[in-house]
């Protein structure tokens, strides 16, 4: 049975990934989830796995060298899937320091701990791998047109967040090049789906609309993001982990470019359609809620991923059409209003104390 060390597994993509993996492999894998539970980490996302013999949650900061080395000494880790990060661009503009600490130094710490545990006299123990979960934002920004980010596109980050992710990627590359360290890097476009913290565009707009609050659209609303359903990302990570050529970078994306304002309009229309006639919220969910606000500083204009390499080498392609994925997502938030109120009130932090202490 393989043991997966998942960092940041209580966050949005990490928790969806753990759901995906247990659904796919059932009791055939063990997952150790190391997460320090920042404001973005919510162990409630994984409550159905608590108590299982093959799931272990460790509340720990990836920057804590001794603690991370202890995890590798205590367990025979076969795979590291490194999600843990500060992930929100707006927060990085206000407070970049924690982004450098977690995203850069935390990654270095993990690389060192894995290298120490996996090294042998003439290389590495067999069948070990580290996967750095990165982002298309490291490539910078595209103008409108028929152009895409490829794995060969030069790194050109603009925000403190993307600069910290690019630095982490460069450290992983340095370990690959210098030490032949067994690793891959995936660079994915914008994810959407269940369990996303409502600071990011899609859950923020859903949550605000349901409460009749203004829907803030930055700048002219015409910035473009390339949206991918989170479970498709989880599948891509698993496939790269199992089939990716060592040392390679793989872009992950859905050829699903949308302007922000299109997303906001679509959420309003879908909510209006899904809410029952007698729901009092239905009346106030209209386009009048849209409010154009000051633009994000250094706002990247357009992201668009070319997922050609992962498709041709590994056979991965996105499976969830946007129309279906956004509906599934909105339905999930409607059904899980308690999750949203725990997250927005901070109530979810009490869950950890009740559950684990
Ligand atoms: P998230 O903010 O929802 O979750 C991050 C998780 O990391 C949280 O559970 C948090 O508690 C944990 N964490 C933060 N600092 C930590 C530390 N020092 N030690 C241990 N745990 C810590 O983020 P997400 O959206 O799920 O993104 C996960 C990864 O995927 C990130 O590396 C991000 O850069 C990358 N990514 C995200 C997207 C996206 O659209 N969200 C797209 C491409 C890549
Ligand atoms: O591209 C991958 C990246 O996608 C990930 O690496 C990041 O971790 C993730 O946060 C996301 O970054 P973005 O900055 O693209 O996502 P965000 O949801 O913050 O914003 C999406 C777009 O919507 C962006 O153009 C800014 C705009 N926006 C965002 C918010 C929160 C608004 O117009 N209004 C808002 O209130």
Q: What is the DSSP string of 148-184?
A: -B-TTSPP---SHHHHHHHHHHHHHHHHHHHH---EE
Ligand 1 centroid–CA 34 distance in Å is: 12
Residue 247: per-residue pLDDT: 98
Two structure tokens written together for 248: 């390679």
Rounded Cα–Cα distance for residues 102 and 84 (Å): 8
Residue 344: per-residue pLDDT: 86
Ligand 2 pocket test: pick from 132, 188, 218 the residue with the most ligand atoms within 8 Å of its Cβ: 218
Query: Is 161 a catalytic site residue?
Result: yes
Rounded Cα–Cα distance for residues 37 and 59 (Å): 7
Query: Is 121 a catalytic site residue?
Result: no
The verdict on domain 2-193+228-255+302-320 having CATH code 3.40.50.2300 is no
Ligand 1 pocket test: pick from 5, 6, 8, 149 the residue with the most ligand atoms within 8 Å of its Cβ: 8
Q: Which residue in the list 137, 169, 226, 232 is annotated as catalytic? A: 137
Q: Which residue in the list 60, 61, 86, 136 is annotated as catalytic? A: 136
Contact (CB, 8 A) for 303 and 162:
no
Q: Which parts of the chain register pLDDT below 70?
A: 348, 351, 355-357
Ligand 1 centroid–CA 194 distance in Å is: 14
The structural domains of the chain, with segments of one domain joined by +, span 2-193+228-255+302-320
Phi, psi (rounded to 5 degrees) for 338: -70, -40
Find tokens 């995890």 and name the residue: 71
Q: Report residues whose beta carbon is within 6 angstroms of any ligand 2 atom.
A: 87-89, 135-137, 189-190, 200-201, 204, 216-218, 223, 225, 260, 296, 303
Ligand 2 pocket test: pick from 89, 148, 254 the residue with the most ligand atoms within 8 Å of its Cβ: 89
Kindly identify the ligand whose nearest atom is closest to the C-alpha of 202. Answer: 2
Ligand 1 centroid–CA 265 distance in Å is: 27
Rounded Cα–Cα distance for residues 104 and 64 (Å): 13
Residue 357: per-residue pLDDT: 60
Query: Is 220 a catalytic site residue?
Result: no
């Amino acid at each position: 049975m393989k043991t997966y060390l998942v960092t940041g597994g209580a966050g949005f993509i990490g928790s969806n990934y753990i759901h995906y993996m247990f659904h796919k492999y059932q009791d055939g894998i063990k997952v150790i989830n190391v997460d320090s539970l920042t404001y973005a980490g919510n162990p409630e996302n994984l409550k159905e796995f608590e108590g299982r013999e093959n799931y272990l949650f460790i509340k720990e900061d990836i920057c804590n060298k001794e603690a991370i080395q202890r995890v590798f000494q205590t367990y025979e880790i076969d795979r590291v899937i490194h999600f843990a990060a500060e992930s929100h661009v707006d927060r990085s503009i206000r407070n970049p320091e924690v982004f450098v600490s977690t995203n850069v130094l935390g990654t270095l710490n993990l690389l060192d701990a894995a290298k120490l545990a996996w090294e042998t006299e003439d290389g590495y123990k067999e069948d070990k791998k580290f996967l750095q979960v990165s982002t298309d934002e490291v490539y910078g920004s595209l103008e409108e047109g028929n152009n895409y980010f490829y794995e060969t596109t030069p790194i050109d980050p603009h925000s403190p967040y993307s600069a910290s992710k690019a630095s982490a990627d460069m450290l992983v590359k340095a370990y690959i090049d210098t030490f032949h360290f067994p690793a891959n890097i995936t660079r994915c476009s914008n994810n959407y789906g269940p369990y996303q913290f409502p600071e990011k565009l899609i859950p923020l707009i859903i949550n605000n609309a349901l409460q009749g609050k203004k829907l803030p659209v930055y700048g002219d609303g015409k910035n473009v993001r390339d949206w991918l359903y989170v479970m498709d990302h989880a599948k891509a990570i698993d496939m790269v982990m199992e089939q990716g050529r060592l040392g390679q970078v793989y872009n992950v994306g859905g050829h699903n470019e949308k302007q922000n304002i299109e997303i906001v309009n679509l959420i309003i229309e879908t909510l209006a359609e899904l809410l029952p006639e007698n729901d009092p919220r239905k009346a106030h969910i209209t386009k009048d809620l849209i409010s154009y606000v000051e633009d994000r500083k250094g706002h990247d204009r357009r992201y668009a991923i070319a997922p050609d390499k992962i498709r041709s080498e590994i056979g991965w392609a996105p499976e969830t059409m946007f129309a279906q994925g956004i509906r599934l997502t909105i339905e999930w938030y409607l059904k899980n209003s308690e999750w949203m109120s725990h997250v927005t009130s901070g109530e979810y932090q009490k869950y950890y104390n009740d559950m684990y202490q």
